């Protein structure tokens, strides 16, 4: 639990990515900022930057987050306004991507298109917390103004996992069918060409072949088709051998604190998605995280690792579920299938963490270095933003720590994270090196909003609650194209990277 002197801007009532906390009218008169003199002091003063509100801990851990109270509406969100105001910028981003990838015209076009192998749904959007305090007359006035503006198709719920297509395109185009056939051809060959598979995966992986493709790209499965079933069987048996060997020790004196922290964090993982509030699913996550912590004593369990299980779990579950995954009852699957999903999620998460383990060792040096690199990179990309942060004493560590620790999972809806990870697994050192450029592109995406904020608290609230609730594959595709442009310009040009 945080102490009474905890800095109030870390306290977040909202549990939804891209949603501002309720009742957060900035108070400027008594606001005092204090810079952390060291990483350890910063970590102590902020405690758990990604935690839910402390006062809600007991009630929240005792029961799943209610979803029935989320009402529908047509809010004028910052994401919609930003999308309209930045429509012209999209063309420049596309042109940058075209210039940097001119040698791969087919793959390039894929980058800037969405995954459209799922059904497009025109659903309802939940109201923001602040809207619940509006009276009926103000609501009518807002709706009248909204009706006079062009409205793009809206993704229904922030918790939506399905591959949503935010542009309203048909579920499957000829081009997407052709791409799916290419994936099937590569996967069916006796020895899958992993480099060719990465090339096609960069611009997004069709949902039908995403589970097998993720297993291959993460290094969990061999490229040789004949060996895959044998490797899967052996690795799954090995994981459940770990459970028999280690899981009973969760009550031992030496490990009980680790297990307790995992047990506390699991209900906080995607609290608005019913799937993750099921006891069966939470037990799966507890086993995965505890076994990983036991087998990696150099780091042990660190808050934030719990988020990294969810994309793998959802993707491997979707292999057996035709309907919407977010409301699926896990207990309806055969026990053997549940066990296989759990084991595959463990091994793929372990492969991911092997590449970024210095993010979670003592003092988290990997994150410190990445935050410093982000600061240096932004100072070269956009000096106005960099100087704006300096003017209002905003430290990059105060917002970018979570971006690096959670791989932007708290900033993006889960559907966007899955699409983002298609590219991360296709890109060399995607989760470590390329993620830096994605974070830089993500920061620049909100340039207009950042420069319009003229106070410390407003800037921190924006950077910790970026309005991505309506983001889909289109926005992620443009973000990745911009990140690739930055990487192309700076990664291999040290003189450009540093002053």
3-state secondary structure the chain: CCCCCCCHHHCCCCCCCCCCCCCCCCCCCCCCCCCCCCHHHHHHHHCCCCCCCHHHHHHHHHCCCCCCCCCEECCCCHHHHHHHHCHHHHHHHHHHHHHHCCCCHHHHHHHCCCCCCCCCCCCCEECCHHHHHCCHHHHHHHHHHHHCCCCCCCCCCCCCCCCCCCCCCCCCCHHHHHHHHHHHHHHHCCECCHHHHHHHHCCCCCHHHHHHHHHHHCCCCCCEHHHHHHHHHHHHHHHHHHHHHHHHHHHCCCCHHHHHHHHHHHHHCCCCCHHHHCHHHHHHHHHHHHHHHHHCCCCCCCCCHHHHHHHHHHHHHCCCCCCCHHHCCHHHCCHHHHHHHHHHHHHHHHHHHHCCHHHCCCCCHHHHHHHHHHHHHHHHHCHHHHHHHHHCCCCCHHHHHHHHHCCCCCCCCHHHHHHHHHHHHHCCCHHHHHHHHHHHHHHHHCHHHHHHCCCHHHHHHHHHCCCCCCCCHHHHHHHHHHHHHHHHHHCCCHHHHCC
Q: Do 405 and 343 reside in the same domain of the chain?
A: no
372 and 328 share one domain: no
Residue 46 lies in a domain: no
- Residue that terminates a domain, selected from 354, 388, 422: 354
Intra-chain end-to-end CA distance of the chain, in Å: 42
HSE of 93, CA atoms in CB hemisphere, 13 A: 22
Looking at the fold, whether 365 and 347 belong to one and the same domain comes out as: no
pTM > 0.75: yes or no: no
Within-domain flag for 53: no
Mean pLDDT, range 122-145, rounded to an integer: 41
In a domain, 62, yes or no: no
Last residue of a domain, one of 354, 374, 401: 354
| Predicted confidence band of residue 283 (pLDDT cuts 50, 70, 90) | very high
Which region, left, alpha or beta, applies to residue 23 given φ > 0 means left and ψ of -120 to 50 means alpha? left
User: Domain end: 354, 379, 400, which one?
Assistant: 354
pLDDT at 234: 97
Same domain, 399 and 478: yes
pLDDT in tens, 353-409: 999 988 998 889 999 999 999 999 999 999 999 999 999 999 999 999 999 999 999
Q: What pLDDT is attached to residue 132? A: 40
Digit-coded pLDDT (tens) for 164-219: 443 444 566 888 899 999 999 999 999 999 999 999 999 999 999 999 999 999 99
Instruction: Please say if the pLDDT value at position 461 is more than 90.
Output: yes
* Residue 122 domain-assigned (yes or no): yes
Stronger pLDDT, 43 or 108, i.e. the higher one: 43
Q: Which of 362, 399, 303 is nearest to 7 (CA)?
A: 399
- Note the pLDDT of residue 324: 84
19-33, 244-258, 474-488, range with the lowest pLDDT: 19-33
- Indicate whether 236 belongs to any domain: yes
Range of the domain at 490: 71-170+360-499
Q: Does 175 map to a domain?
A: no
Q: Are residues 323 and 269 in the same domain?
A: yes
**Predicted pLDDT of residue 362:** 87
Assess whether 132 and 247 both reside in one domain.
Answer: no
Verify that 138 and 267 share a domain, yes or no. Answer: no
- Mean pLDDT over 419-430 rounds to 95
34/342 Cα distance (integer angstroms): 44
Q: How many domains does the chain have?
A: 2
Q: CATH number for the domain including 422?
A: 1.10.472.80
Q: Which has more pLDDT, 330 or 74? A: 330
């Amino acid at each position: 639990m945080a102490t009474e002197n905890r800095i109030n801007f870390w306290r977040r009532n909202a549990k939804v990515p891209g949603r501002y906390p309720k009742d957060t009218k900035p108070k400027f008169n008594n606001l005092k900022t204090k810079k952390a003199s060291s990483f350890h002091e910063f970590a102590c003063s902020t405690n758990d930057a990604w935690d839910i509100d402390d006062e809600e801990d007991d009630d929240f851990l005792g029961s799943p987050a209610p979803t029935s109270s989320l009402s529908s509406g047509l809010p004028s969100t910052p994401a919609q306004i930003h999308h309209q105001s930045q429509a012209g910028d999209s063309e420049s981003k596309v042109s940058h991507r075209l210039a940097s990838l001119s040698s791969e015209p087919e793959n390039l076009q894929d980058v800037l298109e969405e995954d459209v192998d799922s059904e497009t749904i025109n659903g309802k959007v939940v109201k923001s917390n602040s809207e619940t305090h509006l009276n009926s007359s103000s609501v009518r006035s807002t709706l009248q103004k909204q009706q006079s503006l062009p409205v793009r198709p809206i993704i229904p719920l922030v918790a939506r996992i399905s591959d949503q297509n935010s542009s309203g395109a048909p579920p499957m185009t000829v081009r997407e069918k052709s791409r799916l056939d290419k994936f099937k051809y590569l996967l069916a060959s006796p020895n899958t060409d992993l480099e060719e598979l990465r090339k096609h995966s960069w611009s997004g992986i069709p949902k039908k072949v995403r589970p097998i493709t993720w297993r291959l790209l993460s290094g969990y499965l061999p490229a040789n088709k004949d060996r895959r079933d044998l490797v899967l069987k052996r690795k799954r048996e090995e994981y459940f051998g770990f459970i028999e060997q280690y899981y009973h020790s969760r009550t031992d004196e030496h490990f009980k604190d680790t297990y307790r922290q995992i047990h506390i964090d699991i209900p906080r993982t995607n609290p608005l998605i019913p799937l993750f509030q099921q006891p069966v699913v939470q037990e799966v996550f507890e086993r995965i995280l505890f076994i990983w912590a036991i087998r990696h004593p150099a780091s042990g369990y660190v808050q934030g690792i719990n988020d990294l299980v969810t994309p793998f779990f959802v993707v491997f579950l979707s292999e057996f579920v035709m309907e919407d995954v977010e409301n699926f009852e896990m207990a309806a699957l055969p026990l053997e299938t549940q066990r296989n999903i759990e084991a595959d999620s463990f091994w793929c998460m372990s492969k991911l963490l092997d590449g970024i383990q210095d993010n979670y060792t003592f003092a988290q040096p990997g994150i410190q270095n990445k935050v410093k690199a982000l600061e240096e990179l932004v100072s070269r990309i956009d000096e106005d933003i960099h100087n704006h942060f300096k003017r209002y004493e905003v430290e990059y560590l105060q917002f970018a720590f979570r971006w690096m620790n959670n791989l932007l999972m708290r900033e993006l809806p889960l559907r966007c994270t899955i699409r983002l990870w298609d590219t991360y697994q296709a890109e060399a050192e995607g989760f470590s090196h390329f993620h830096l450029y994605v974070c830089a592109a993500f920061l620049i995406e909100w340039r207009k909003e950042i420069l319009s904020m003229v106070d410390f608290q407003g800037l921190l609230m924006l950077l910790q609650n970026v309005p991505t609730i309506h983001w889909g594959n289109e926005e992620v595709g443009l973000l990745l194209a911009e990140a690739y442009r930055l990487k192309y310009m700076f990664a291999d040009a040290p003189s450009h990277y540093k002053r």
